[in-house]
Structure 1
């Protein structure tokens, strides 16, 4: 962007402005990321309590003031708006997570034109702020993981319907990497192998999944999944 800045939180934290990387100190990074995940804005006190939960209110407030100084401007670009006691990212800041979330939500809800599937798969395969272990990130990460799981499954089924078997298989594997115990992407992968005539691959995918469930959870795949390969194997 020529006039604004790009904030990336679906990959290692990064800010670019005018094509150049902008160095942001740690406290400023945390505040910018927190506000990116609170698109409606956040009260100063809430931001301080979430970002510095182990500090006293006075210390947390002081840390917030430091973070504001670090993150308020990204080069010539205003980064944080402050109205009364509410903080929010400035409109000039573009966040990669927002575009990916909105596209995934539209896909899952069936609202509007379907997004570019291949581009969206790449975004949905990304972890939110990898390497960060902040407690306030637990719920946003869980929400992101659930949304991207459903979106990846929907995309895999869309690719499968279109006969794009490779894209469908890669998309289902991306979903499996997020939650290896979830059955839906395994079932889609089995169906793709069968559609291609790769019976051995379908059976292997099923058997690998069955072993995982038995080893880790002491449960079996659903009858619906088992029925796909029942006539292909003696087990």
Structure 2
């Protein structure tokens, strides 16, 4: 391989999509990368700060000798940067060049919801990280983002519910149960939001679906909060629609 600097010309506009699949664009044009380079870019894209080179090599090529892992890392950097500046590589640390990464943006939006940020469209908070990738670091990060997304969407649904924005609360809670059908707290929010919107029959159908799912999948009965929401649907006056 011809020797090429690991620091090509700066200034490329890098956009990295990791939710729903891997897609890299540099200066508005899609870039195809070999698997090793794509995994390196994805791994770096999940971290906001540069990482120690030996750590990156150990995670991605842990089955190789230290020297061989280092050589694999250098090769992947070269291939990633061959068609436009994507990776900043120093002597001891390595990181993604200034870029936008959808997984990090989604995580930032989720954290904002957890501290009372303005509600957003549920799709901003959802999306599976790198489906079809089974590296250990991907599996761990996928589950972390999944749980963060669920917590954020559920918090958003609760905020909307308390604000009397019934239809938006339904949309957010439905996004949660689509990802995690057995999440009883989200079903409870759906029941309460349907009641708030004046749709008691829909609220009771939602309760029935959750009750049947819990019984079939886990052998459990609904908890007290969900039962109370169903009782509200059966007997309390309909709340005024916002």
Asked if structure 2 preserves the Cα contact closer than 8 Å seen for 1:9 and 1:97, the reply is yes
Max Rg structure = 2
- Tell me the residue number matched to 1:183: 184
Cα distance per residue 1:37-91 (max 9 Å; x no partner):
122222222212222343343443332222111113552xx22122332111122
SS of the equivalent of 1:94 reads: strand
User: How far 1:98 sits from its partner (Å)?
Assistant: 1.9
Distance 1:231 1:9, change over 3 A: closer
Asked if structure 1 preserves the Cα contact closer than 8 Å seen for 2:12 and 2:86, the reply is no
Distance 1:11 1:74, change over 3 A: farther
Distance 1:107 1:140, change over 3 A: same
- Tell me the residue number matched to 2:94: 87
- Tell me the residue number matched to 1:70: 79
1:204 aligns with 2:210: no
- Tell me the residue number matched to 1:117: 120
Asked if structure 2 preserves the Cα contact closer than 8 Å seen for 1:9 and 1:95, the reply is yes
Distance 1:104 1:223, change over 3 A: same
User: Normalising to structure 1: TM-score of the pair?
Assistant: 0.85
Q: CA RMSD in A?
A: 2.2
Cα distance per residue 1:100-127 (max 9 Å; x no partner):
21121122023xxx34612xx2121211
- Tell me the residue number matched to 1:217: 218
- Tell me the residue number matched to 1:40: 49
User: Normalising to structure 2: TM-score of the pair?
Assistant: 0.83
Distance 1:74 1:100, change over 3 A: farther
User: How far 1:188 sits from its partner (Å)?
Assistant: 0.8
Separation of aligned partners in 2, 1:100 and 1:176: 19
Asked if structure 2 preserves the Cα contact closer than 8 Å seen for 1:104 and 1:148, the reply is yes
- Tell me the residue number matched to 1:141: 142
Distance 1:198 1:135, change over 3 A: same
Cα distance per residue 1:202-223 (max 9 Å; x no partner):
1121121122222222222211
User: How far 1:162 sits from its partner (Å)?
Assistant: 4.2
1:51 aligns with 2:57: no
Separation of aligned partners in 1, 2:103 and 2:74: 25
Separation of aligned partners in 1, 2:109 and 2:83: 27
5+ residue gaps, structure 1: none
SS of the equivalent of 1:81 reads: strand
User: How far 1:137 sits from its partner (Å)?
Assistant: 1.0
SS of the equivalent of 1:151 reads: helix
SS of the equivalent of 1:204 reads: helix
5+ residue gaps, structure 2: 1-10, 235-242
User: How far 1:167 sits from its partner (Å)?
Assistant: 2.5
- Tell me the residue number matched to 2:171: 170
- Tell me the residue number matched to 2:108: 102
Separation of aligned partners in 1, 2:126 and 2:105: 14
